[in-house]
């Protein structure tokens, strides 16, 4: 079989690394990781679902590299202090040393938590991301944002810590439940919306095939997303400016995730999709883009069977004022002023602090009224 693995290099000087994208990478994990090892052993953090489905395959792929593993409960609720301290204590009990490699084997929750554990363990050890969800492959495994949630908000505790290598095996996406796959698709659409109108056109045409399992389409979507993310992260590793573009939809999303208690009511990528739709609605309300743009965003998300609005979130939600208060914990805030990612059209996003609170309140109020 021909090897169709592609490599996206993330050029960050001494923190540079490759993102390898293809089918069958799990089976070759040992050969891929070996050059980074000082001794032939790795400590793997995973979740119970991924562990059950794929840990044996990873163990086999690692060949003679010894593997020890801890499986945490699956789900966003794991991304907090209790499971984080459990993971760090386990890594210490396993005698993971500074020159060793920690492997984050799972979706965004595991990648963020394990990356943060690696960042603080013995003041920093290297880690390899093996993302198993679409969301983690296209987004959270790349760029070095690691962390956990606080009762005050999403991802408020963490560190920038770049991985040494990312292995995105698109073959494992086949075991994802449809809801999780579509949640990850929310982040894929984000890339088209923020900076590549042609990619959004492509997604409108190919999104259904991608969701149905077309491997070539999946590989292209993962590669294009990672490429876009890599170029932005290279320009602005620690989000002083441009990197905030990757936060399109996230100011709304994080407030909604906090409001729904990081529960099954709203998955992260679902919140991103709703957040992108609201960001385009806000842009239109401020006269920045045409009415056609938010309609096209919603139409595509709907055609993919995704959540597009606050009305699609089950259970109670707080009022617009309370949601605005949650948004005020956003990490993009400067001098008390929220920064938003708005758009002049599809593929034309930009970062601005110049957004009247009243306009945001109105967009949220109207969205709540549609429930
Ligand atoms: O990598 C980034 O930069 C992003 O903003 C990507 C986001 O999609 C991702 O969810 C990120 O973890 C959110 O970052 P945060 O700084 O808003 O917590």
Task: Quick: pLDDT tens for 23-77.
Answer: 999 999 999 999 999 999 999 999 999 999 999 999 999 999 999 999 999 999 9
Q: What pLDDT score does 290 carry?
A: 97
Domain boundary among the residues 175, 193, 212 is at 175
Q: Is residue 30 part of a domain?
A: yes
Catalytic residue check, 254: yes
Rounded Cα distance, 348 and 284, in Å: 13
> Quick one: angle between helices 320-327 and 250-259, nearest 10?
110
Is the CB of residue 112 less than 8 Å from the CB of residue 148? yes
Domain span at residue 102 reads 6-175
Question: In this structure, are 159 and 206 located in the same domain?
Answer: no
Query: Domains in the chain: how many in total?
Result: 2
Query: Which is the closest atom of ligand 1 to the Cα of 330?
Result: 17
Strand ranges for the chain from DSSP E: 6-10, 17-22, 41-47, 66-72, 101-106, 126-131, 145-150, 153-160, 165-169, 340-343, 349-352
Give the pLDDT band (50/70/90) at residue 330. Answer: confident
How far apart, in whole angstroms, are the C-alpha atoms of residue 333 and residue 251? 10
- Given a cut of 90, whether residue 333 has pLDDT beyond it is no
By three-state DSSP, how is residue 213 classified? coil
Q: Is 152 annotated as a binding residue?
A: no
Assess whether 207 and 245 both reside in one domain.
yes
**C-alpha–C-alpha distance, residues 220 and 203, integer Å:** 10
CB 247 near ligand 1, within 6 Å = yes
User: Whose CA is closest to atom 10 on ligand 1?
Assistant: 140
End position of a domain, from candidates 151, 175, 199: 175
Q: Whose CA is nearest to atom 15 of ligand 1?
A: 155
149 is catalytic: no
Can 247 be counted among the known catalytic residues?
A: yes
CA of 143 to the centre of ligand 1 (A): 9
Q: Do 335 and 356 fall within a single domain?
A: yes
In the set 126, 224, 229, 339, the catalytic residue is: 229
| Residue-wise burial string across 81-114, b where 16 or more C-beta atoms lie within 10 A, e elsewhere | eebbeebbebbeeeebeeebbbbbbbbbbbbbbb
> Active site residue: 223, 237, 247, 339, which one?
247
Q: pLDDT value at position 1?
A: 63
Of 149, 175, 201, the residue at which a domain comes to its end is: 175
358 is in an annotated binding site: no
């Amino acid at each position: 079989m021909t090897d169709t693995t592609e490599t996206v290099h993330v050029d960050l000087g001494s923190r540079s690394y490759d993102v390898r994208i293809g089918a069958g990478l799990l089976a070759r994990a040992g050969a891929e990781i070996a050059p980074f090892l000082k001794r032939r052993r790795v400590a793997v953090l995973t979740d119970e679902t991924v562990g059950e489905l794929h840990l044996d395959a990873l163990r086999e792929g690692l060949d003679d590299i010894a593997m020890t593993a801890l499986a945490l409960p699956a789900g966003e609720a794991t991304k907090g202090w209790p499971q984080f301290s459990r993971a760090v204590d386990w890594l210490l009990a396993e005698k993971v040393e500074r020159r060793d490699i920690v492997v984050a084997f799972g979706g965004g929750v595991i990648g963020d938590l394990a990356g943060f554990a690696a960042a603080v363990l013995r003041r920093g050890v290297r880690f390899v991301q093996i993302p198993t969800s679409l969301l983690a492959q296209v987004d959270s495994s790349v760029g070095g944002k690691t962390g956990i949630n606080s009762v005050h908000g999403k991802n408020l505790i963490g560190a920038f810590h770049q991985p040494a290598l990312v292995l995105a095996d698109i073959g494992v996406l086949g075991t994802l439940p449809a809801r999780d796959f579509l949640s990850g698709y929310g982040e894929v659409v984000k890339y088209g919306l923020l900076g590549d109108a042609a990619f959004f056109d492509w997604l409108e045409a190919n999104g259904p095939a991608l969701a149905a399992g077309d491997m070539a389409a999946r590989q292209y979507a993962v590669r294009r997303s990672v490429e876009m993310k890599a170029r932005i992260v290279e320009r602005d590793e620690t989000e002083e400016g441009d990197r905030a573009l990757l936060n399109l939809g996230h100011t709304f999303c994080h407030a909604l995730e906090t409001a729904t208690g990081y529960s099954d009511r709203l998955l992260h990528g679902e919140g991103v999709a709703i957040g992108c739709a609201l960001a385009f609605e806000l842009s239109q309300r401020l006269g920045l883009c045409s009415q056609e743009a938010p309609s096209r965003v919603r139409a595509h998300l709907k055609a993919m069977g995704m959540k597009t609005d606050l009305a699609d979130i089950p259970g109670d939600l707080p009022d617009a004022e309370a949601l605005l208060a949650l948004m005020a914990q956003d990490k993009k805030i400067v001098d008390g002023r929220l920064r938003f990612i708005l758009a002049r059209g599809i593929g034309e996003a930009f970062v601005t602090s110049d957004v009247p609170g009243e306009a945001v309140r109105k967009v949220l109020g109207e969205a709540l009224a549609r429930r």
